[in-house]
Structure 1
């Protein structure tokens, strides 16, 4: 009986401590929200610096559109009946003496290594390898941002290694080495987007979180506009120059990132580094209220480190998320939606060449279309619920994609218009989904959970690369499949909770408690 009484006493003590910890975490979040209320110049400066990597990230994501393309060619024997006016579009059926590339043979990897008649698997291997590497990198690296490395250092690591790998890629002398390096590059840049977006979201109050969360999408737009311009300027040069122009600038940025970018105060608090969290808040707080800062210091002085936060790993993060029914259901649903959205967005973007339209103009159009995408994302994040916005965008992008296959090439302008409409809806859907995923999970596992959603979207990119190769002759195998899957996956949005206007949580217990209050 004495042992049972002692055990009950220990249990009650443990529950009291847990309750106290949750109260401390909630008080810290409340005081942090008050200190970060508004948006000052220091926050603006940080937002610009943290958003910049998205320029380089987007260029590395879609560089294969130009470096891996089949270049234009011309007949060199005008008197030939087999190559007259390029009546036969398939150069694999023509003798090598009858045709030649319009530009130098090293314009793309296809022309340099003679891949124009290779299998669809081989031509799509570099792009698929890149996104496969991204998937593996997300899975293995994402938890580091939640544990000992943090948001800033992981962002620095991703940017630096991506840049170095991109430069080394210029030394490739065959498709296999090239594909391997594209895989490594994808692995290195895997967590760049997530780390940057979460770092932005965690350094501002909830009233600015949605607005700041859309900033990386603006820089993605800049990257998508710069890439076709760089490729067009170098259309008469080797594909290696494109990699150099895209990969060298991030090296310079890494020094700026290391010297001037701050770490997330929420992550520092969860890690038990309260003094550092206070210093960061003092640097960026737009109000500098000494009373609020003193209260924040008193709270941070007695906080605990969440039991799993400092030792979190890939498997422990999975265990934490899967151990609770609500979080397990939420992450699986989110991944299904992300897969469908990623499939249609990357499929349409990477499949520009299948529409037999100038890839440079198409790239510029997609980049320009990112301007209304960013504005539309901002409007939806600010004015409308996440669920409704994401559901409508997923269904619309799926429908437009199917229509591309139905219209076929005989209605070229309609097909191009539908392609741009699909890009608009798919890109906006991904933007909303990325902001949405950050708001669904607490600080202790936020980066890992949001990265799983990006991983699912990237898996869609891997599949879309292969389907685009298969759909070069039959659009139903590419655009038809993209649209059908995206349309069906869109309905899973109905299972997800609404997060608009809700404060971020730091621990799983705090998140679960808030969920119970909302649903009670």
Structure 2
């Protein structure tokens, strides 16, 4: 990260400040922006940090049901406590109460007489205990989590193109997504029953769908190509912090109500929205693609040291046709552009196939921790902590990783460890949590590479939409994971075994994608198509 002087010095030697473009050729929009932005300065870095903080609140709402919807611990009540003033108990009933101490599983509870057992803590600790859902079907108890992911799917489908094709842009999409997610989360805290609670979870998921994409794309478009991978990883660090904060918040409220957890996570998000509205700048790349030159100049002037006159000169000399389509307000234009060209539709299909397998593991692993014979607070904490070395590995080596090799490699490692965590008996039972952590670490690393890879595979005019569709595939895999978790209560292979097969098979499709390591970002479909052709003229 450099200061403003090297940036200005570099810009003064570039076409940003030259009165006549070199070699009498008009510079492209992409090259103009890269030279005007430079690499990175403190303003750009702080902007990227502020934008990436949104991932904290995204993670909290994604995994909050691990605690709010969990089955609380319970215990059997002794015979002396449940006999009525020392009266004798029926022998058959006495035998049931004797058996109570032999097992305290979900099914055991439902086979016991009313009043023979009690929750260890307050009945308001979870929606399961407060609304007496302990003996309901797995469909009912898993409905809120599934509705959240269904909301993510629908929101991703309908909101994914707004940051590209509408007048909202990256910044406003980030602002409104965080705002409405926090408001719906606040309402969730006053839900009177499971049905309204599930509907509000759907709404929360709907508005949460575009936070990650808007944040990642906006942050990466504010810095030069050599820093965009590292800046993208900052978002993953923030997501880890959000995930890691949940066990702490839940533990602090372990004697109160699950509703307090929603309050603790939603109110700070409202304050964050104010900061975004005041301090975050819109992407100059997006502004230029939309033909908003004055706003782009103001944004570039804010984040760089280039003078306004030089910015005007640089932008006025860029390739004219690159500004096209800025008056088109078709919300699905970006998706149409992606599907109309063979190379872009092929890339999108491959990346979404990989994303589905990733989503099953990335979201399913934390949700399935209740199936392991391990303390829930500790297991969630360990899983959250495993994201830190994952983000660190990505941060340090993203510039060295060949994307199309590293992605399948980490997917396969996650697959092998996930399947091995289903082995039971003797020493294997103690090793299950270790295999699970390695599998989740590998899945997190794969996911980090996956989203960075996706932003590099598609140009600015469709980048947010492509990344939204990629994340939509991840969420679709996540929507199926609660069902696998429920099935895994009786057979671990139906949970962790299927997780492994999904990410292993999906990850192998990465070898069919082109390599993007070290490439500059493109801004138009034609620019990406021309850059993607090899020496023989074949697009890869």
Q: Same fold (TM over 0.5)?
A: yes
Q: For the structure 1 residues 277 and 485, does the alpha-carbon distance in structure 2 shift closer, same or farther, using more than 3 Å as the test?
A: same
CA displacement, residues 358-417 of structure 1 (integer Å, 9 cap, x when unaligned): 111111111221210111111331211111110101111111111111246873320000
Give the superposition deviation at 1:289.
Answer: 6.3
* Secondary structure in structure 2 of the residue aligned to 1:472: coil
Q: 2:193 maps to what in 1?
A: 174
Q: 1:374 maps to what in 2?
A: 391
| Inter-partner Cα distance in structure 1 for 2:296 and 2:204 | 32
Give the superposition deviation at 1:86.
Answer: 2.8
Q: 2:524 maps to what in 1?
A: 507
| Inter-partner Cα distance in structure 2 for 1:518 and 1:159 | 45
| Inter-partner Cα distance in structure 2 for 1:409 and 1:172 | 44
Q: 2:150 maps to what in 1?
A: 132
Query: Which residues of structure 2 form unaligned runs of 5+?
Result: 1-24, 81-93
Give the superposition deviation at 1:88.
Answer: 2.5
Q: 1:218 maps to what in 2?
A: 237
Q: 2:348 aligns with which of 331, 336, 355?
A: 331
Q: 2:101 maps to what in 1?
A: 86
Pairing 1:114-133 to 2, within 5 Å after superposition: 114-133=132-151
CA contact (8 A) 2:284 2:299 kept: yes
Is 2:54 the partner of 1:35? Answer: no
| Inter-partner Cα distance in structure 2 for 1:283 and 1:505 | 23
Q: For the structure 1 residues 292 and 495, does the alpha-carbon distance in structure 2 shift closer, same or farther, using more than 3 Å as the test?
A: farther
Give the superposition deviation at 1:267.
Answer: 0.2
| Inter-partner Cα distance in structure 1 for 2:509 and 2:530 | 24
| Inter-partner Cα distance in structure 2 for 1:309 and 1:117 | 57
| Inter-partner Cα distance in structure 1 for 2:267 and 2:44 | 27
Is 2:362 the partner of 1:322? Answer: no
Give the superposition deviation at 1:472.
Answer: 1.0
Which shows bigger deviation, 440-449 or 80-89? 80-89
Q: 1:485 aligns with which of 502, 509, 519?
A: 502
| Inter-partner Cα distance in structure 1 for 2:491 and 2:149 | 23
What root-mean-square deviation, in Å, do the aligned CA atoms of Structure 1 and Structure 2 show? 1.9
Query: Which residues of structure 1 form unaligned runs of 5+?
Result: 1-22
Is 2:48 the partner of 1:47? Answer: yes
Give the superposition deviation at 1:290.
Answer: 7.1
CA contact (8 A) 1:28 1:296 kept: no
Give the superposition deviation at 1:293.
Answer: 3.0
Q: 2:224 maps to what in 1?
A: 205
* Secondary structure in structure 2 of the residue aligned to 1:106: helix
Aligned residues: 495
Q: 2:60 maps to what in 1?
A: 59
| Inter-partner Cα distance in structure 2 for 1:363 and 1:309 | 48
CA displacement, residues 204-234 of structure 1 (integer Å, 9 cap, x when unaligned): 1101111111110010111011111000110
| Inter-partner Cα distance in structure 2 for 1:423 and 1:302 | 47
CA displacement, residues 218-268 of structure 1 (integer Å, 9 cap, x when unaligned): 101110111110001101111000000011101011111000000000000
Pairing 1:294-443 to 2, within 5 Å after superposition: 294-299=312-317, 305-307=323-325, 310-314=328-332, 316-407=333-424, 411-443=428-460
| Inter-partner Cα distance in structure 2 for 1:52 and 1:299 | 36
| Inter-partner Cα distance in structure 1 for 2:425 and 2:452 | 35
Q: For the structure 1 residues 37 and 408, does the alpha-carbon distance in structure 2 shift closer, same or farther, using more than 3 Å as the test?
A: farther
| Inter-partner Cα distance in structure 2 for 1:341 and 1:396 | 12
User: Given the two structures, how large is their TM-score scaled by the length of structure 1?
Assistant: 0.92
Q: For the structure 1 residues 34 and 318, does the alpha-carbon distance in structure 2 shift closer, same or farther, using more than 3 Å as the test?
A: closer
* Secondary structure in structure 1 of the residue aligned to 2:421: helix
CA displacement, residues 64-103 of structure 1 (integer Å, 9 cap, x when unaligned): 0000000000111256543457312221111121110011
Pairing 1:157-306 to 2, within 5 Å after superposition: 157-285=176-304, 287-288=305-306, 293-299=311-317, 305-306=323-324
Which shows bigger deviation, 380-389 or 183-192? 380-389
* Secondary structure in structure 1 of the residue aligned to 2:399: helix
Q: For the structure 1 residues 469 and 484, does the alpha-carbon distance in structure 2 shift closer, same or farther, using more than 3 Å as the test?
A: same
* Secondary structure in structure 2 of the residue aligned to 1:280: helix
Give the superposition deviation at 1:506.
Answer: 1.2
Q: Per residue, is there more helix in 1 or in 2?
A: 1
Q: For the structure 1 residues 83 and 396, does the alpha-carbon distance in structure 2 shift closer, same or farther, using more than 3 Å as the test?
A: farther
